[in-house]
Structure 1
Amino acid sequence: MASTKGNSTGVHVSNATEHKTNQDEQLLPPFTPSFPERIGIGAFKLLNKVVPWYKLPGFIGAFNLAFLRIELRQFNLYDGYASPEAQGTSQENPLSDERYHGARHSDGKFNSQEMPLMGCRGMRFGRNFPRHLTPKPTEEELWTPNPRMISDRFMARRDGRFIPATTLNMLAAAWIQFQIHDWFNHVDSEEKFNVPLPEGGDPWPHPQMELFRTKQDEVRDPSDIKCPGYVNENTAWWDGSQIYGSSEKVTQTLRTKLPDGKLTLDEMGAVSFLPRDKDGNPLTGFNNNWWIGMEMLHTLFAKEHNAICDALKAAYPDMTGDQIFDKARLVNCALMAKIHTVEWTPAILAHPALKIGMAANWWGIVGEKLTKMLGRISKTSEIISGIPGSGAEQDGVPYSLTEEFVSVYRMHSLIPDEITFLSSKTGAHIQTTPTATLTFSNAQTPLRNGTLTFPDAFYSFGLAHPGAITINNYPSFLRTLTTPDGQTRDLGTIDILRDRERGVPRYCAFRRLLRMSVPTTFDELTGGQNPALARELEEAYGGRIEMVDALVGSHAEPVIPGFGFSETAFRVFIVMASRRLKSDRFIAGGTEWGEGGYTAVGFRWVQDSGMKDVLGRQFPELKQVLERGGERNVFAPWVKLGE
């Protein structure tokens, strides 16, 4: 990390006048919508006073969301630094290897030629709200109300009762963690919190609950004292860093020694496994928080990378190993971005406007068939022809992921306490296993010892439901999780404490800053549908609705029909989901996207493939059961064998 932090040096502590200027600038919108866009924003605002967007017909609702996204870009994107100088210049950070003009650098550098450090490892998280409104909390604010008490009352599954999300399967749960591990990872400090346990006794198995604080970035401006910055240990790009690593050094260790561009896998007959180090940890780009779901998806997309390498080598025999690797990585990353955009998102946000809108994000309103047939109809319009190839744009703020984006992706409720495994050949029951026994170094055990095959595991995940993202649905084992470093953690407590520590506004302020309606009573927060919950929230938060944590409020609010998570979280998703595509020159770039950047074979691979294709390609045994599902979304429950 030392070299990365050195790369991210920007401005040093400024004088008071410069500080005031920087703070004033942060109050200004980063960009101004065009006149037609302002008309559209205003028109839909008026309409939404009568009819909310999700009650509009599909296409109109999709356009409503498109204009809402523009408004969010205007008011809800802020740099994590007081000065854009932190992003570096091409003079200070020259591109010394021409290879990275057309290939991803594992450290995340050079995605932007003008701001070479933007989005790279070791750069700060940005904000969806002005920095001066996300200050470091006081000690009283940090511990009020007690975060462990909040975890006990609003996170824990009561009496072991699991609340399923019946429209989804476990692949959807594993997928989002797989993607999160590509996007962000905070750095721990050497200092610890001593989390106070609630009065009246607590079943915590240790005398005290300790947790490492989040490491604050060095002070580069006076504003950093009140509003600290926190760096991302991963690259912020959609670059498959969970597979390839967030540094060139790590990437090199994961590749084979042959000039074939492939990733190293352990081959046992016809079965490929992720290799392990001497301690049993998987050798892959990101191996923290490991369980069998990560084992499956990391293996799947490592195999997919190698299959792409074979296709490229066959089509272009003169390619070097580095050239094969670079193109295969571009293809694999774009394919994951596409799957997330047009498959996973419409599954967890099952609403007609979202299905139309997310397809339009990738293909534009002209649609998949015309885009494949004719290419981009419009050179630059993301609405007409989709974001890929429309030209990279930062909307006035250097690209980063945000602390609020991290906050809304706290989805531990998705994980069940146990998983039932079935045969992918016969549908017969194999075993029902506590999820806790399939974590860390044990994640690969049933696959290695022959109890399960990868097709069995994927078939079982395709049938099983994850947990609903709601109040009182955290799995028990994640609330007393012992990690390989010897810590015991309550992830419910951690989720609450991390938001407070990093200055994420509480629920009412969070909604207010997104220009959403704000509840004035606890009954209003819960939609008047759960008086008992409203009373319990009121008691826990001392009757002060402004104190409700963002995560708790989001879990307690009524959910839009078809949605897997709250509309509050969704507002952050709207702006950041498209930003991950639009900011990236290897996806949005007008010259990098297409056959010129990906090769003809690679570009067809991206455009013609989906999650079903990947599964069927790497595990042909699954083709039959996948075909039985017809056009059903692969992240929705699969059709059982025999039905």
Structure 2
Amino acid sequence: MMSSSNDSSTVDDLQKVAKEEEQQLTPSFTPTLPERLGIGAFKLLNRVVPWYKLPGFIGAFNLAFLRIELRQFNLYDGYASPEAQGNARDHPLTDERYRSARHSDGKFNSLEQPLMGCRGMRFGRNFPRHLTPRPTEEELWTPNPRMISDRFMARRDGRFIPATTLNMLAAAWIQFQIHDWFNHIESNEKFKVPLPEGGDPWPHSHMELFRTKADEVRDPSDVKCPGYNNENTAWWDGSQIYGSSEKATEALRTKLPDGKLELDERGTVSFLPRDKDGNPLTGFNNNWWIGMEMLHTLFALEHNAICDALKAAYPDMTGDQIFDKARLVNCALMAKIHTVEWTPAILAHPALQIGMSANWWGIVGEKLTKMLGRISKTSEIISGIPGSGPEQDGAPFSLTEEFVSVYRMHSLMPESIAFFSSASGSHISTIPVPSLTFSKAQEPLASGLVTFPDVFYSFGINYPGAITNNNYPSFLRELPTPDGQLRDLGTVDILRDRERGVPRYCQFRRLLRMSVPKTFEELTGGNVELAKELEEAYNGDINLVDALVGSHSEPVIPGFGFSETAFRVFLLMASRRLKSDRFIAGASEFGPGTYTRVGFDWLQNTGMKDVLKRHFPELKGVLEAGGERNVFAPWVMMEESKKYNGVETNAPA
């Protein structure tokens, strides 16, 4: 039996501190009486039955009320004063174009707070700022982050742990979306990460990493609790394709008045154009690999197809008008795919299937919503979030440091990818992922080794890695990047959370009002061996366990691809990205009046399979063979593909 990490008096002291800190969670708004009754009723029920053991429909309602409570207690501005978000007086809308179109900087999504969510604004918090302070030097390096990476990130003996309910398309998709949402700015100052005692195979005496650049001090509280700026727009606005500035967007468009994005046409194949150094010309091209190559290309093609449809239906539209409408449709389509397709794939639980569909269509469902429109003008539960009216829940919209933390999913990456013919299913080649990164990402396609249909089919039948301990690919733990750094992303992930004040695991759960383990064995759900390793690595102090390590160590809800701790932040922020956005939640903006009738019908009637079949009709047969199967779940394999016994595909070994 494992011993507690503290004696009883220390535990009592910690519980007292925890209660005091919980009392410091200031509600950002007051729920309605029915909402308060629902929250209270499900809290009582969950003392007996957790939400994930309830029947699917009841579990979905449980999550809806839990989300209200999270909105109430876990949204905090990254600034000490709301004046930082700007106002209509100081930042007037001088160009009426952006009343009904997205501005690439992210400005004017809110007409009342024009800077909210735009490029360069701070990340927010899911916890009060005073509980997320800058760490001391001792806190930053305790325990050694490289040691934690070695013990809990590295694949042992090269063993790949597959996520057998997903495919590699799901892994590529989430990175594609993350590139839209956030990117921290690095400073010129570097950390010199000490290596663990006792020897380390790292090729240098220490590891150098650029520090995150803190925002300027605007308030005395920023000294102890600094803010960090988001280099991307925080909106769901396709900035990974279109860029996060009007200048960048303009450079990516064709010179013709057709509203399209520039593509490099080589015969019948369209590629992303390159600059003189071989970098892809797109909105965000960092951390590039073939997974980004395929999805950036796919949705650039989708944008251009929407432009063609708009031009045919509305021949008098200008190039800017076509572009603006196509961007609105394409961005909302990506948000819809993420909501009703990707999320139910990685969180395959009946309550989530119902809940995520309801996020978009409401509990009345897709068919009735398409037929009758919104039955309820304002209820997001009855008729879905799109068109229900934007709401900030008492805190200006931003993405949060904790949201960034829970999306650390490098374990999804395999060591290599097996490519197969989309025509015959036969194995073409197996290529190590490092040979598919940065400037080399386009090579297999440009050389003719594989086609885009081949790549999509291959990603459809390859497994990603499971999001768990000891499953970081070896190449990501010694990754040379174009900026000259050599990185261990396991170390980076641990260090970034500490540097930015993300609470450690127990505190993270405490501030989400979740149960907090008192012993390492309780944390691991009875896994004695893992509990011993954690206790040794964290010097017997369970309160030092990093949020990421703890999340990877806790038992996973059946069907879930990641931990319930991470899920709580996801539950809050996934719907907030929709609900805060005027062009998605806006009652007057979300509809044919803003999107056009052709554009709105395109959005409502299109899913990921439709996008794939439209641009790569060679995939129609294999996609239809899967019936109603989620496109982010393993695809049906052709017989020739089954003959390849690759450990990272869903072929039988």
Q: TM-score range by the shorter chain?
A: over 0.9
- Alpha-carbon distance in 2 for matches of 1:230, 1:486: 23
CA deviation after TM superposition for structure 1 residue 25, in Å: 13
In the alignment, is the contact (CA less than 8 A) between 1:263 and 1:305 conserved in 2?
yes
Aligned to 2:376: 378
Give the partner amino acid of 1:535.
K
Matched, 1:243 2:246: no
Q: 2:416 aligns with which of 415, 418, 436?
A: 418
Give the partner amino acid of 2:565.
T
Q: 1:470 aligns with which of 457, 468, 478?
A: 468
In the alignment, is the contact (CA less than 8 A) between 1:26 and 1:131 conserved in 2?
no
Matched, 1:532 2:503: no
Deviation readout 1:14-41 (Å, 9 max, x if unpaired):
xxxxxxxxx9998531101101100000
- Alpha-carbon distance in 1 for matches of 2:194, 2:33: 53
In the alignment, is the contact (CA less than 8 A) between 1:343 and 1:635 conserved in 2?
yes
Aligned to 2:450: 452
Aligned to 1:394: 392
Aligned to 1:568: 565
Q: 1:118 aligns with which of 113, 116, 119?
A: 116
Q: How does 1:504-583 map to 2 (within 5 A)?
A: 504-528=502-526, 530-583=527-580
In the alignment, is the contact (CA less than 8 A) between 2:75 and 2:127 conserved in 1?
yes
Q: Counterpart of 2:169 in 1: which secondary structure?
A: helix
- Alpha-carbon distance in 1 for matches of 2:151, 2:41: 42
- Alpha-carbon distance in 2 for matches of 1:97, 1:307: 27
Q: Counterpart of 1:107 in 2: which secondary structure?
A: coil
CA deviation after TM superposition for structure 1 residue 561, in Å: 0.3
- Alpha-carbon distance in 2 for matches of 1:430, 1:557: 39
Q: How does 1:186-335 map to 2 (within 5 A)?
A: 186-335=184-333
Matched residues, number: 620
Deviation readout 1:293-320 (Å, 9 max, x if unpaired):
0000000000000000000000000000
Aligned to 1:346: 344
Deviation readout 1:534-568 (Å, 9 max, x if unpaired):
10000000000000000000000000000000000
In the alignment, is the contact (CA less than 8 A) between 2:133 and 2:225 conserved in 1?
yes
In the alignment, is the contact (CA less than 8 A) between 1:122 and 1:234 conserved in 2?
yes
Give the partner amino acid of 1:633.
N
- Alpha-carbon distance in 2 for matches of 1:578, 1:375: 20
Deviation readout 1:593-640 (Å, 9 max, x if unpaired):
010010000001110000000000011111111000000000000001
- Alpha-carbon distance in 1 for matches of 2:49, 2:603: 38
CA deviation after TM superposition for structure 1 residue 356, in Å: 0.1
Aligned to 1:10: none
Root-mean-square deviation over aligned CA pairs: 1.1
Matched, 1:611 2:608: yes
Matched, 1:74 2:72: yes
In the alignment, is the contact (CA less than 8 A) between 1:27 and 1:130 conserved in 2?
yes
Q: What is the identity percentage for the equivalent residue pairs of Structure 1 and Structure 2?
A: 84
- Alpha-carbon distance in 2 for matches of 1:351, 1:233: 34
- Alpha-carbon distance in 2 for matches of 1:525, 1:44: 24
- Alpha-carbon distance in 2 for matches of 1:381, 1:596: 21
Q: 2:140 aligns with which of 139, 142, 158?
A: 142
Deviation readout 1:354-406 (Å, 9 max, x if unpaired):
00000000000000000000000000000000000000000010000000000
Q: 1:493 aligns with which of 481, 491, 494?
A: 491
- Alpha-carbon distance in 1 for matches of 2:516, 2:366: 39
Q: TM-score, normalised by structure 2?
A: 0.94
Aligned to 2:18: none
- Alpha-carbon distance in 2 for matches of 1:384, 1:207: 59
For structure 1, list consecutive stretches of 5 or more residues without a partner in the other structure.
1-22
Q: How does 1:35-50 map to 2 (within 5 A)?
A: 35-50=33-48
CA deviation after TM superposition for structure 1 residue 207, in Å: 2.5
Q: 2:619 aligns with which of 601, 619, 622?
A: 622
Give the partner amino acid of 2:573.
M
- Alpha-carbon distance in 1 for matches of 2:22, 2:619: 57
In the alignment, is the contact (CA less than 8 A) between 2:80 and 2:219 conserved in 1?
yes
- Alpha-carbon distance in 1 for matches of 2:94, 2:443: 44
CA deviation after TM superposition for structure 1 residue 531, in Å: 1.0
- Alpha-carbon distance in 1 for matches of 2:72, 2:25: 11
Give the partner amino acid of 1:634.
V
Give the partner amino acid of 2:606.
S
In the alignment, is the contact (CA less than 8 A) between 2:109 and 2:582 conserved in 1?
yes
In the alignment, is the contact (CA less than 8 A) between 1:265 and 1:273 conserved in 2?
yes
Aligned to 1:9: none
In the alignment, is the contact (CA less than 8 A) between 2:160 and 2:465 conserved in 1?
yes
Q: Counterpart of 1:125 in 2: which secondary structure?
A: coil
Aligned to 1:13: none
In the alignment, is the contact (CA less than 8 A) between 1:26 and 1:78 conserved in 2?
no
- Alpha-carbon distance in 2 for matches of 1:519, 1:393: 35
Deviation readout 1:492-527 (Å, 9 max, x if unpaired):
000000000000000000000000000000000000
Give the partner amino acid of 1:41.
I
Aligned to 1:6: none
CA deviation after TM superposition for structure 1 residue 136, in Å: 0.2
In the alignment, is the contact (CA less than 8 A) between 2:329 and 2:602 conserved in 1?
yes
Matched, 1:160 2:155: no
Aligned to 1:12: none
Give the partner amino acid of 1:336.
M
- Alpha-carbon distance in 1 for matches of 2:597, 2:185: 40
Q: Counterpart of 2:583 in 1: which secondary structure?
A: coil
In the alignment, is the contact (CA less than 8 A) between 2:419 and 2:427 conserved in 1?
yes
For structure 2, list consecutive stretches of 5 or more residues without a partner in the other structure.
1-20, 643-653
Deviation readout 1:435-467 (Å, 9 max, x if unpaired):
111000000000000000000000000000000
Aligned to 2:636: 639
CA deviation after TM superposition for structure 1 residue 223, in Å: 0.6
CA deviation after TM superposition for structure 1 residue 96, in Å: 1.1
Q: TM-score, normalised by structure 1?
A: 0.96
Aligned to 1:408: 406
- Alpha-carbon distance in 2 for matches of 1:384, 1:425: 44
Distance 1:249 1:202, change over 3 A: same
Q: Counterpart of 1:586 in 2: which secondary structure?
A: helix
Give the partner amino acid of 2:517.
P
- Alpha-carbon distance in 1 for matches of 2:556, 2:102: 39
Q: Counterpart of 1:587 in 2: which secondary structure?
A: helix
- Alpha-carbon distance in 1 for matches of 2:22, 2:229: 24
- Alpha-carbon distance in 2 for matches of 1:170, 1:555: 20
In the alignment, is the contact (CA less than 8 A) between 2:243 and 2:283 conserved in 1?
yes
Give the partner amino acid of 1:579.
R
Deviation readout 1:398-428 (Å, 9 max, x if unpaired):
0000000000000000000000000000000
Give the partner amino acid of 1:505.
P
Deviation readout 1:231-250 (Å, 9 max, x if unpaired):
00000000000000000000
Give the partner amino acid of 2:342.
W
- Alpha-carbon distance in 1 for matches of 2:397, 2:577: 8
- Alpha-carbon distance in 2 for matches of 1:203, 1:462: 36
- Alpha-carbon distance in 2 for matches of 1:446, 1:290: 14
Aligned to 2:590: 593
CA deviation after TM superposition for structure 1 residue 485, in Å: 1.1
In the alignment, is the contact (CA less than 8 A) between 1:183 and 1:236 conserved in 2?
yes
Q: Counterpart of 1:111 in 2: which secondary structure?
A: coil
- Alpha-carbon distance in 2 for matches of 1:111, 1:197: 46
